[in-house]
Structures are given as C-alpha cells and as structure tokens.
C-alpha cells in the first residue's frame, strides 16, 4: 500500500526557513499528484501547494512567493521549501498523494493517501 513519511518540521523564528520532505513508497510515483496540506489547532485543514505528474504547481494565496513545492521522481520524494515563515504558518503539515486524473487538478477531497504529518512552529 501507499506509504508517505514526512520529515523536516521544527521550530523557527519568523522570517526563517524550513524544508519539508515526504518520502513515498508503494506507488508509481510519476503517475501521482502530490500535495501539501496543513492544519492548525481549531482550524480546518487547508491545501498549501500541489504538483501534478508533469510538475505543474498550484499554491494557496497565503503562501505564494514564499513556498515552493517540488518533486524528485527518481527519489520518489516530495518537497516543500518554506521561506519567510510567519507565525500563521504554524500547523501540522501533511503530505498527500493520489493518482492524477488527466486534464484537471484534483480537488482536496480526492486525495486518499496521507502521511502522519510533521509539525511546523513559527514564533514571533
């Protein structure tokens, strides 16, 4: 079955950077759409960034220009480079995967494979 293992979270001060990684196994990685979601305490889960199987990316408005999603198909790994971090970026960050559908981006609810999450805490 699909396994997703996140790493790279931690505590940083505002303005700092972190790089999250998600190692995937049990799937044909280059056929899957990949995404990062986050959930802060008391808030709904939100999509942060997505990348499809041809490396087309989408970002939430709140992270555009600060975060960069990328994938390494050879290493079956997804990344999220987070720069200029803000306290409001504090959340548990989850990696998600789902086989891509030709011709359209996946909706959040369509992602069926999830990692356990990695905590990101940004202090002011």
User: Could you read off the pLDDT of 106-123 as tens digits, one per residue?
Assistant: 999 999 999 999 999 999
Per-residue pLDDT at 64 exceeds 90: yes
Average pLDDT over the chain, rounded to an integer: 96
Instruction: List the helix and strand counts (H, then E) for the chain.
Output: 0, 11
Give residue for tokens 């079956």. 76
Could you give phi then psi for residue 110, rounded to 5 degrees?
-80, -15
Rounded CA-CA distance 12/86 in Å is 9
Contact 10, 18 (CB under 8 A): yes
Give the DSSP letter of residue 73: T
Both tokens of 46, joined, read 């939100």
Per-residue pLDDT at 102 exceeds 90: no
Both tokens of 24, joined, read 């995937």
Mean pLDDT along residues 54-58: 94
């Amino acid at each position: 079955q699909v396994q997703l293992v996140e790493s790279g979270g931690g505590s940083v001060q505002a303005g700092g950077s972190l790089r999250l990684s998600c190692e995937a196994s049990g799937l044909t990685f280059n056929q899957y759409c990949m995404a990062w979601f986050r959930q802060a305490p008391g808030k709904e889960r939100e999509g942060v960034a997505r990348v499809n199987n041809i490396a087309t990316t989408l970002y939430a408005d709140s992270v555009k220009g600060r975060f960069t999603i990328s994938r390494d198909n050879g290493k079956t790994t997804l990344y999220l480079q987070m720069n200029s971090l803000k306290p409001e970026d504090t959340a548990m960050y989850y990696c998600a995967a789902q086989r891509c559908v030709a011709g359209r981006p996946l909706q959040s609810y369509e992602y069926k494979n999830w990692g356990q999450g990695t905590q990101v805490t940004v202090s002011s």
